[in-house]
Each structure stands twice: as C-alpha cells, then as structure tokens.
Structure 1
Amino acid sequence: MPASATSVFQVLFATTEQVIGPLPGYHHETYAVRLGAAPGLFGQSAGWVKLRDPRPGLLWFDRRCFGSEDDLLATLAGRVSHIPTVGHIDSLTVQGFIEGCTLAEVAPPGEEVPAAFVGQIVRLFRELLAVEPYDPALLALHAPLPAERGSAEFARDLVRFTFTDVVEHSLPHFDALFHSLGIHPGSAPATASSLETRLRGMTPRPFGLLHGDVHRANLIVDEHDALWAIDWELALIGDPLYDLATHLHLMRYPARQEGEVIARWADVAEESRPGAAEGIEADLPRYLAFKRIQSVYTDVIRQAYSTERGETSTAEAAKVINAALDRAADSLLLPTVAGAGEIEHELLRWLATPRQRGAANTGGSPSAS
C-alpha cells in the first residue's frame, strides 16, 4: 500500500476488504479503494478511487509530455467523455476507479472487437481531435511546448528519443541479450538513421491531442457496456496519424476490421481537425514500421528488465519478445526469428551472466527534455 496514503486509509477505510490491489500496471503501484461514508470527499459519499505511487527506477519507453496525468484529466473533463474523474481526499489527489473489465478480457488481441465498442473507440478519437491543442490550459501542462514544425520533424523526434534516450542508454546492460537474439546492438544507429530517412518525406498535418496508448488493456468496459479510456500518461500534442498507428499496432485488429477502423478514423479525423488524415496511405505504413521496430528494442529491454526484477516469468517474456521479433522481421530484414523456447534459453543465460549494472535502473529520460 502506498506509504503516502497510510493516514488517509486509517481515517477513511474500516476494513481491508475495501482495498483491491496492487492492480496490473507498469508505471505505478496502484490500488482500488472503496470510499467510506465520509461526506464531501471526492464529491461523493461512496465509490471506488485509485491510489497510486510511482514505481522507482523504471525505464520509460515513450516521451512523457504532460507533467501530471491528473491535471490533464481535470482539464479534459467535459471535453472528452468517459475518462476518469479527478478529485481530492485531504491533500491526496485521486482518480475515480472505473468498475468493469478491460476490453482485452472481452476480446483479446487478435480477435475482432464488437462493433459497438469500435464505435466508441472512434468517438474517442473524434473527441480528442476536437480539443484545441494550443489551448493555454493544455499548454500550461505540456513540456516542452509543442512547436508545430511538421509531421516529419515530429516523427524524427520520436525516433531519436527511442534510439538515443532509451536504446543507446540501455545497451550496456542488455547488449549481450540483443546479440544472442540476432540483433547486433551496433546496428541501432543505422536503424535509426534509416527510419529518419524513411520518415523525412511525410505529409504535413495539423497537430492535435493524442492519447498515445489506446489499446485493449487501457479501455475499460463498465456494466452498461460503455468504454472508458484510462492511463493518459503518454498523452502528447503531435501528429494525429501517430495516435492511429500506435492504436493499430497495439490493438492487433484482424485485417478486415483494421481496414474498417482506418477508414472510420480518417472520416472523424477530417471532421474534427481538417487535414489530419492527409497522406494517410503513404504515411501510416511508415509509422507502423517505426512502431514494429521500436517494439523489438523496447520489448526486449522491458521484458528482460522485468524478469530481472522477478516480475515476469522467462517463459512469458519470451513469448512477448518472439511476437515483437516476428512482427518486425521484414522491417528489420531479419533472416530468421528465434522461437519462444530459444529466446527463453537466452534470457536464462543472460540472467545468469555477470554484466554491467546501473544503466537499467536510471530509467533513461523519464520526461521530455
């Protein structure tokens, strides 16, 4: 239980049955807590809230641009529907906890998403792009200020963050594992340069507000089959097409449904932010190639790091790494992809081998510079 919440727990909660957790999540240790009958707290007398503490020493694989997820959610209240509410218990800021199950539990990755939920996902993107990204209230929370330099420059910054702030920073700790998986660590700069070249000719698009992490585990289905978007920590202001590419990469729609989602996204994007879907035919595949390559590097590091901390089994980590390698094989020109069994063997060998320490624990650059 987060230490910062101890006194609040003692005052408000009568039994440990009112606390659930820790809940699944990478960036925070999170608990769901049912409020007691104390009036005036969080604007309600009862209900579930989330209490969270950041996990120390984590690697961050995407840029954090908004300094406070809670402040962002509070700013978006009334503009984007079905997002967590934010309130206060004494000096503690908390989010409302959405009771229900994840979309991943209803329709696991690779399976078709029920049509009613697809409609709600499309609505989410429409509402996001209807938010004025240069609203002073948003800009006050965003660092650095998002100069609208164009889609190509935005994409270049994504590549440089991945390969400089994450991969290059972490390689001293993980280079032997990359070698064993057939990815020479020294190829990372060349891969980054190739991606930058490929992204250079992208069509300029007006920037918008992006969630940055819309996938099945971050979409909660409540008892009324309403879909709620949670985990806004990777939100940013930038090229809207990147939000779609990230969504498609993580959702793993069946091919037919993916085509439908792309078409519906393009319609609402143009409706909410004219020009947001310009060049989609040429540029969406470029972003998807970047996401596949990014996943290989970051999934290897993240899964190895998680097994090292005893949070993930080597068998489960090997499956994730195998899937990332398989999806990026063409983009990385890999002649063969190691199977899950072989990857697990290499993970076990890496765990048992002395190696340089320290780089894995600093977290790269946890916030945008």
Structure 2
Amino acid sequence: MTWLELYGRALAADEAAAGYYNRNVGLPSPDGKVNVRIPLAAADVMDVRLWREEEVLARIRPYVGRVPELRHVSEDPRFQVHHFIEGRVLDSFSPRGTSVPDNVVSDVVTLMDQLVRIPQEKAPEVPEHWPASGDSSGFGRLLASLTRDVHATYGEEYREAFAELGIPADPLAVVEPRWDSLTSRPFAVLHADLHRKNMIVADGATWFLDWELALWGDPMYEIGIHFHKMDYPEEQRAAVFERWRALLPARYTAGPVYDLDLYVAHERIKSAIVDTIRYSKQLATATRPQQEFLIGRLAKKLNAARELWGLPRDLTAARVAGILAPWREA
C-alpha cells in the first residue's frame, strides 16, 4: 500500500477525530497502525501559526521522547502520517475542571523543561519579524495583535451578538497597557496548546499530540495558556506552578505571578471572541445535547472574560442561547 492510497482511505473513512485545523484517521498499515493527519482546508485561522508541524516534530524528536513519530509527509495533497499512539485521551477520564493524576502533572512539567533546553539553532527557523529572545513584551503584543485582527475581521458580522454578550468594541484595552511590564525571559520552543484532548495516557506515561501551534516565545506564556485550557482546580494549579518553577532553569521562570496573570487574561479575552465565532458555526449542525454543551461552555468562557471587562459574571446559558439563536437555528 502506498502513502497516497492510505490517504485515500483516510479521506473515505467515516470515523475520524477532528480538531480545528486537522482531521485525524487511525488506519492499519504494513508498518503497524498509523494516524493520517489531513489539514481542514476551510478552517479559520484564529491562532498564531509559526512553523509547520512536521518540521517541529522532526526538530524536537532528539529532545522530547513522547511525541508522535513522523512516518511520512506529503506536499500535494497535503497530509502527514504519524505512528498511532494507543492509550486513553486524558479528557476521557479527567475532564476539564477536575484534578489530573499526579503522573500526568509530572509529565507535563517535564515536557516544558525539555522544551526550554532545546537550543535555538536546533529549533525551526524564526522569521525576521519575530520578537527577539527576551522581548517578552513584544511577544505579548504579537499574540494580542492576532486577537485584535480576529475581532476586527468578524466585527461586522457579529456586531450585535458581541454587544449583547458584553464583548466591548475594544476588548483588549484592559490588557494593552500591561505588556510593557512583562519581565524579560529567554525564549524557548513552546507547544502552546497543552490541553486534555492533546494528551494520551498509556501505561502510566503521557504522550503529547498536535504540535501545529508550536511557537518560539516566552515560557511564561506556555504555563499561562496551559492553565487557561486545563482549568485545573485551584489547589492543583498552584502545585503545578510550583513544580514548574522548581524544575525549569530560573531564567525561564523569572518574574512575578503578575506576568502569568496577564497571559491568562489575554487568553480569556481571546477565548471569548474566538469561541463565540467557532461555536456559533458549530451550532447549526450540532445535535441538541451538543448545542447545550457548547452553549454552556461558551457561557463560562464569556463570564470569565466579562470579569476582566468589569461586568458581572451573570451571563446564563439560556441568555447565550437566545443571542446565538440565528446560528443555532440555521
């Protein structure tokens, strides 16, 4: 069987796991089971994209053990083939908001430590416009610029919905003055998408998937976006942060907790905007239980951002459902 034939089978498969940017299909091959990873052509880009995932996987492999092994890359048509990792997705037994097993916490912090030890010359190339290592303020502004662009791009279509949900005309005004205060830290390779659906636990070990959003940037952002997406109980979050500061070299974790809070604040604002758009598009084809799940989750994300904007955290799922009715009933 050729790689192209495997790709054809993946396209025709009824069962697949899809994120925002890729469709994943597990298939048998002469070399064992593999994961065929196909980009979703219609995906709206709402995250900073720096490198191609296959280049990241190839470069970090000598430094990070529990990542997918790259078997094949095709340019035309675009797809990758990874070895298939058997195990349980963390989210399936430890959903968002609950404590995770201690061995997973240890593996996450170990991964972050492994990543900061990758020399810059061994990482994929960084474009000239990218902030220089140590320019944490420039890195923060770069992240915020994409969030601002997404808000502007969809501002007209979602004008009424944004206003009713409490998303201000300038949603980043509350964080914009704070970027100058960030502590300078040397940059490192970041996964930038470490959440429960991107972790597979097998035989007590955690494997880390989906490196499509990997970045070269401030390690404080890595732990900040991780906290935002994991939604640990407060006690475990504090323990993870302490482990992170104890394990990584001090220059990568320097600075006050204020820096961490700033990155988390940005992610809450970004999530309120981006997920309003993403979830509204999913509502039209979702089943009633799926709609209820999406609306409930979005209400929680919006309330977290509303607090930053000085608004009460009183947006109910029913209210969100009413505001998004045009998309839900489409």
Q: Same fold (TM over 0.5)?
A: yes
Name the residue aligned to 2:274: 298
- Which range moved further: 175-184 or 258-267? 175-184
> 2:239 corresponds to which residue?
260
Q: Give the alignment partner of residue 130 of structure 1, picking from 109, 117, 127.
A: 117
Aligned AA for 1:324? K
Cα shift readout 1:277-308 (whole Å, capped 9, x = no counterpart): 11132211111111111111111111112224
Structure 1: runs of 5 or more not aligned: 37-45, 354-369
Q: Which amino acid aligns with 2:292?
A: A
Q: Which of 204, 208, 219 is 1:240 aligned to?
A: 219
Q: Secondary structure at the match of 1:21?
A: coil
Aligned residues: 323
SS of the counterpart of 2:213?
coil
CA contact (8 A) 1:84 1:98 kept: yes
Identify the residue that residue 107 of structure 1 maps to in structure 2. 94
Identity level (%): 30
Deviation (angstroms), 1:350: 4.8
Aligned to 1:338: 315
Provide, for residues 204-228 of structure 1, a one-character-per-residue CA deviation record: whole Å limited to 9, x for no partner.
1111110000011101112x12100
* Structure 1 CA distance for aligned equivalents of residues 160 and 74 of structure 2: 49
Deviations 1:1-43, CA, capped at 9 Å, x for gaps: xxx9663467xx8xx9xx673113221122111113xxxxxxx
CA distance, structure 1, for counterparts of residue 73 and residue 117 of structure 2: 32
What do residues 326-354 of structure 1 show as CA deviations (whole Å, max 9, x unaligned)?
Answer: 2223212113532112211221135568x
Secondary structure, aligned partner of 1:172: coil
Scaled by the length of structure 2, what TM-score is found? 0.89
Coordinate RMSD, CA, aligned:
2.6
Q: 192-201 vs 113-122, which deviates more?
A: 192-201
* Correspondence 1:24 to 2:22: no
User: Does residue 348 in structure 1 map to residue 325 in structure 2?
Assistant: yes
Change (3 A) 1:35 1:144: farther
Matched, 1:206 2:206: no
Return the letter of the residue paired with 2:136: S
Question: Which has the larger Rg?
Answer: 1
1:185-242 C-alpha deviation (Å, 9 max, x unpaired): xx22xx32331202221111111110000011101112x1210000001100010000
1:172 Cα offset (Å)? 1.8
Equivalent position of 1:231 in the other structure = 210
Q: 2:53: which partner in 1?
A: 69
The one-letter code matched in structure 2 to 1:284 is L
- Greater relative CO, 1 or 2 (CA 8 Å, sep 6+): 1
Paired with 1:129 and 1:79, the residues of 2 have a C-alpha distance of 10
Letter in 1 for 2:57: L
